[in-house]
A and B are shown apart, each in its own frame.
Chain A
């Protein structure tokens, strides 16, 4: 029995020692990867030397789009800060920077483990990979020193370039670039971009600073002020009512979407927008509708591509726009002042100053000739052939064609032995003059003989408007009667050796005699009336739309008027009343105006000190 037991025990041990041994080996064909690939790494800091505010927590983010990065290891001065595993490629940790000393450089070592991607067993188990290592230097600083400073603001490539330092800290999120506190130019998310072009800058209002936003804080830079100013501008009257306006090329040409052009009459604080010029390249503008006899200055306002500042009032233009000097629209008269002006039919007109009578060639727009005189008063016969001028002791009869004296009348040959006060000459050498005594004479200058003596019904003053008919029989004068400004216009006729008043009116301001027909012409109640001087019967009438009637140019049979607003001069055809051309002006003859009269001769407008040759 014992033997049997021993056999059984032996068999049991034997059997248990015969455990199954699994078999088989599967060998996969996997190629090793031996070349370390380039990897792209995104940091939340951009420089090798990184400044860290000594206060508070600092968050460091190390990310990569490379999906094979498995973990990151951070150490500071060879002491491990953290080891972070991630499959997202982003490794973030925060450390309390307050425990480090200011001013000392610390070495931050960042290591990334990237699997090879071979697909091997070791690769799958992160036991096979490449280590990427990079060191940075950390300097802990006070928060006040963390802000990137604006380093330079200068014109560049037709715009204004603003540059600032790169952010040398952690956790950069955005640069907020400001021009003054009111305008945020841009928000920049790229930490490597440390400049921008301010497309809103056109020459003024430059106050730049940068606010750096980080994960945990904001840092504000210094302010840099930049005022380039606006280009110089000039305006010049060229021909007609054209004005050429020029301004300098802007340094910020690419920032300018266009120019708004304004005219302004500073004397009246009046502004008016004239034009819009597209783009910033142009440097000139021809204004073809200048206002005659108005000192005009022009404002050229560059409008920025970005952020147009609204103009609250025209006064803003004084710093938002280039400004020209005042330019007077019109040509200066070669002599000024002139007191008496005559525009008989023909190419010439005549005016005088204190010592000369000038003959003006309208076709050439220049003075053709002159002759000395000693008295400002003068007269030209209605046919334009004879000029009557005065010296201290004589009257001179001048051939208008040759501007030579053909005859003279000494003072002692005149009726009262004194020089005339005002005088007129008709085509036939006869005329009318007033003496210092207030007497008026029909007088034959050729025969030096008085034909009639008369007095007008009122005061007689230098400057009283007087006209004589071509034949010398009719004489019309407008003078003060009674208390100024009461005027009376009287028409006299030389009849049987007497001057007979045949008509008067206290409303008529303008009157003349048609040098061709001899008809009496006057303006009243919005009409030009052509009347026979013989019986004052109306020959024809012409309605006039404007309120102020100034002059008739008998050469072209045109008349010139001013509207009620005193800002538009119109030249009409005398026969049909149709407007032939218009010229803008402003407050002409109104309060505070330098100008009073308008004369028209051969398409040239004359006023005190100015003329304007028109082309129509």
Chain B
């Protein structure tokens, strides 16, 4: 608590000093590892009564984010960020007698804090930014076999660290940015909603199946600077 209080004081001191806030929106493209979930699909496929196919297997997808940054000094900016990612998979089989479809929809919301360092302050600015977030992932599994449907939801969480570099160009108060980084995910296990004791595991080993969002990130950003004083 002492540390949190000290940080808030430091921020207030900073606000009173520079009085600039930047609101920023990000649209990016994430390359997701999600290796456990892909393995899970392979296992499911093996155990199907019919020879199905994985038609969609957690592909790399765009992600979205937003943040509010406070320019604490000429070099350092502190921010609060929130990111949203989603991807999914499908196992499919269909013949004259009916259809089998196993859909997995994975979403993640990761609020966090960020610290940004200005490395080059020319017309084109270069930043290094490190974002620390806590991700909340949700995996919805939907099985449709012939006329029966079954749906389960698992939730997991984990700490994410994403270091990245950013090139920015200002046009008046508007700032356009180009970002590239790598997200390191430390995921937890997936727990069944409604029964916290049930987790998603590999059948053979009993190891937890984790939602690992690690991977490269590329993003475009648009920010707007507000001068408070």
Q: Name A residues whose Cβ lies closer than 8 Å to a Cβ of B.
A: 4, 7-8, 11-12, 15-16, 18-30, 32, 118-125, 127-128
Docked-complex contact A32 and B146, CB < 8 angstroms: no
Interface centre among A15, A30, A125 (most CB of B within 10 A): A15
Is there a chain A Cβ closer than 8 Å to B92's Cβ?
yes
A26's partner among B25, B52, B68, B104 (CB-CB below 8 A) is: B52
Known contacts A24-B90, A27-B94; is-contact A121 B105 (Cβ 8 Å): no
Is there a chain A Cβ closer than 8 Å to B71's Cβ?
no
Residue on B nearest A14 in the bound complex, by CB: B64
Q: State which of B80-88, B121-129, B150-158, B204-212 sits at the interface with chain A.
A: B80-88
Residue on A nearest B52 in the bound complex, by CB: A26
Question: Which 9 pairs from chain A and chain B are nearest by CB?
Answer: A24-B55, A122-B97, A124-B49, A22-B90, A26-B53, A15-B84, A120-B97, A20-B88, A20-B86
- Chain B residues 85 to 106 lying within 8 A of chain A, measured CB to CB, are 86-90, 92-100, 103-106
Q: Please give, as numbers and ranges, the residues of chain B lying within 8 Å of A29 by CB-CB distance.
A: 95
Q: Please give, as numbers and ranges, the residues of chain A lying within 8 Å of B107 by CB-CB distance.
A: 16, 19-20
A317 to chain B, nearest CB (A): 76
Kindly state the separation between the CA atoms of A128 and B86 in the bound complex, as whole angstroms: 38
Q: List 5 A-B contacts (CB under 8 A).
A: A8-B66, A22-B105, A25-B55, A121-B97, A123-B97
- Chain B residues 35 to 87 lying within 8 A of chain A, measured CB to CB, are 49-53, 55-56, 61, 64, 66, 68, 82, 84, 86-87
Is there a chain A Cβ closer than 8 Å to B216's Cβ?
no
B139-161: CB near A (< 8 Å → 1, else 0) gives 00000011000000000000000
Q: Please give, as numbers and ranges, the residues of chain A lying within 8 Å of B25 by CB-CB distance.
A: 11
Known contacts A11-B66, A12-B82, A15-B64; is-contact A23 B98 (Cβ 8 Å): no
Q: Please give, as numbers and ranges, the residues of chain A lying within 8 Å of B87 by CB-CB distance.
A: 20
Q: Please give, as numbers and ranges, the residues of chain B lying within 8 Å of A8 by CB-CB distance.
A: 66, 68, 82
Is there a chain A Cβ closer than 8 Å to B109's Cβ?
yes
Kindly state the separation between the CA atoms of A19 and B51 in the bound complex, as whole angstroms: 28
Docked-complex contact B97 and A127, CB < 8 angstroms: yes
Known contacts A22-B104, A24-B56; is-contact A122 B146 (Cβ 8 Å): yes
Docked-complex contact A121 and B66, CB < 8 angstroms: no
Docked-complex contact B49 and A125, CB < 8 angstroms: yes
Kindly state the separation between the CA atoms of A398 and B98 in the bound complex, as whole angstroms: 131
Q: Please give, as numbers and ranges, the residues of chain A lying within 8 Å of B56 by CB-CB distance.
A: 22-24
Docked-complex contact B23 and A121, CB < 8 angstroms: no
Known contacts A26-B55, A121-B145; is-contact A20 B92 (Cβ 8 Å): no
B22 to chain A, nearest CB (A): 11
Docked-complex contact A24 and B92, CB < 8 angstroms: yes
Q: Please give, as numbers and ranges, the residues of chain B lying within 8 Å of A19 by CB-CB distance.
A: 86, 88, 105, 107
B59 to chain A, nearest CB (A): 9
Q: Please give, as numbers and ranges, the residues of chain A lying within 8 Å of B68 by CB-CB distance.
A: 4, 8
B47 to chain A, nearest CB (A): 12
B100 to chain A, nearest CB (A): 6
Docked-complex contact A24 and B53, CB < 8 angstroms: yes
Q: Count contacts on B: residues with CB < 8 A to the other chain.
A: 37
Interface centre among B52, B96, B99, B106 (most CB of A within 10 A): B96
Docked-complex contact B93 and A125, CB < 8 angstroms: no
Kindly state the separation between the CA atoms of A21 and B55 in the bound complex, as whole angstroms: 12
A562 to chain B, nearest CB (A): 101
A493 to chain B, nearest CB (A): 132
Kindly state the separation between the CA atoms of A16 and B88 in the bound complex, as whole angstroms: 14
Residue on B nearest A116 in the bound complex, by CB: B97
12 further A-B contacts with Cβ under 8 Å, apart from A23-B56, A23-B90, are A7-B23, A11-B25, A20-B88, A22-B88, A22-B89, A24-B90, A25-B92, A32-B97, A121-B49, A121-B50, A121-B94, A124-B49
Residue on A nearest B140 in the bound complex, by CB: A19
Docked-complex contact B109 and A121, CB < 8 angstroms: no
B223 to chain A, nearest CB (A): 12
Docked-complex contact A30 and B95, CB < 8 angstroms: yes
Known contacts A20-B106, A124-B49; is-contact A28 B93 (Cβ 8 Å): yes
Kindly state the separation between the CA atoms of A16 and B82 in the bound complex, as whole angstroms: 12
Kindly state the separation between the CA atoms of A438 and B100 in the bound complex, as whole angstroms: 141
B67 to chain A, nearest CB (A): 10
A605 to chain B, nearest CB (A): 101
A129 to chain B, nearest CB (A): 11
Residue on B nearest A7 in the bound complex, by CB: B23
Residue on A nearest B95 in the bound complex, by CB: A30
Kindly state the separation between the CA atoms of A87 and B142 in the bound complex, as whole angstroms: 30
A120's partner among B66, B95, B103 (CB-CB below 8 A) is: B95
Docked-complex contact A30 and B105, CB < 8 angstroms: no
Interface centre among A11, A22, A32 (most CB of B within 10 A): A22
Q: Please give, as numbers and ranges, the residues of chain A lying within 8 Å of B66 by CB-CB distance.
A: 8, 11
Q: Please give, as numbers and ranges, the residues of chain B lying within 8 Å of A123 by CB-CB distance.
A: 97
Q: Please give, as numbers and ranges, the residues of chain A lying within 8 Å of B90 by CB-CB distance.
A: 22-24
Kindly state the separation between the CA atoms of A516 and B106 in the bound complex, as whole angstroms: 145
B145's partner among A11, A118, A125 (CB-CB below 8 A) is: A125
Kindly state the separation between the CA atoms of A30 and B98 in the bound complex, as whole angstroms: 11
Q: Please give, as numbers and ranges, the residues of chain A lying within 8 Å of B89 by CB-CB distance.
A: 22
Q: Please give, as numbers and ranges, the residues of chain A lying within 8 Å of B82 by CB-CB distance.
A: 8, 12
Kindly state the separation between the CA atoms of A122 and B5 in the bound complex, as whole angstroms: 63
Kindly state the separation between the CA atoms of A16 and B52 in the bound complex, as whole angstroms: 30
Residue on A nearest B90 in the bound complex, by CB: A22
Docked-complex contact A28 and B146, CB < 8 angstroms: no
Q: Please give, as numbers and ranges, the residues of chain B lying within 8 Å of A7 by CB-CB distance.
A: 23
Docked-complex contact A30 and B96, CB < 8 angstroms: yes
B100-121: CB near A (< 8 Å → 1, else 0) gives 1001111101000000000000
B15 to chain A, nearest CB (A): 13
Docked-complex contact B88 and A121, CB < 8 angstroms: no
Q: Please give, as numbers and ranges, the residues of chain B lying within 8 Å of A125 by CB-CB distance.
A: 49, 145-146
A483 to chain B, nearest CB (A): 121
Known contacts A8-B66, A26-B52, A125-B145; is-contact A20 B61 (Cβ 8 Å): yes
B29 to chain A, nearest CB (A): 14
Q: Please give, as numbers and ranges, the residues of chain B lying within 8 Å of A11 by CB-CB distance.
A: 25, 64, 66
Kindly state the separation between the CA atoms of A551 and B94 in the bound complex, as whole angstroms: 118
Docked-complex contact A121 and B100, CB < 8 angstroms: yes
A261 to chain B, nearest CB (A): 76
A218 to chain B, nearest CB (A): 46
Kindly state the separation between the CA atoms of A30 and B97 in the bound complex, as whole angstroms: 9
Q: Please give, as numbers and ranges, the residues of chain A lying within 8 Å of B96 by CB-CB distance.
A: 30, 32, 120
Known contacts A15-B84, A16-B84, A16-B107; is-contact A25 B94 (Cβ 8 Å): yes
Interface centre among B66, B92, B95, B109 (most CB of A within 10 A): B95
B93's partner among A16, A22, A26 (CB-CB below 8 A) is: A26
Known contacts A15-B64, A23-B90, A127-B146; is-contact A121 B55 (Cβ 8 Å): no
Docked-complex contact A28 and B105, CB < 8 angstroms: no
Kindly state the separation between the CA atoms of A120 and B84 in the bound complex, as whole angstroms: 40
B150 to chain A, nearest CB (A): 14
B99's partner among A4, A23, A121 (CB-CB below 8 A) is: A121
Kindly state the separation between the CA atoms of A299 and B134 in the bound complex, as whole angstroms: 113
A28's partner among B51, B86, B106 (CB-CB below 8 A) is: B51
Docked-complex contact B97 and A28, CB < 8 angstroms: no
A122 to chain B, nearest CB (A): 3
Q: Please give, as numbers and ranges, the residues of chain B lying within 8 Å of A26 by CB-CB distance.
A: 52-53, 55, 92-94
B52 to chain A, nearest CB (A): 6
Q: Please give, as numbers and ranges, the residues of chain B lying within 8 Å of A119 by CB-CB distance.
A: 50
Residue on A nearest B106 in the bound complex, by CB: A20
Kindly state the separation between the CA atoms of A22 and B97 in the bound complex, as whole angstroms: 23
Kindly state the separation between the CA atoms of A27 and B89 in the bound complex, as whole angstroms: 17
Interface centre among B50, B61, B64, B98 (most CB of A within 10 A): B50
Kindly state the separation between the CA atoms of A16 and B105 in the bound complex, as whole angstroms: 12
Q: Please give, as numbers and ranges, the residues of chain A lying within 8 Å of B92 by CB-CB distance.
A: 24-26
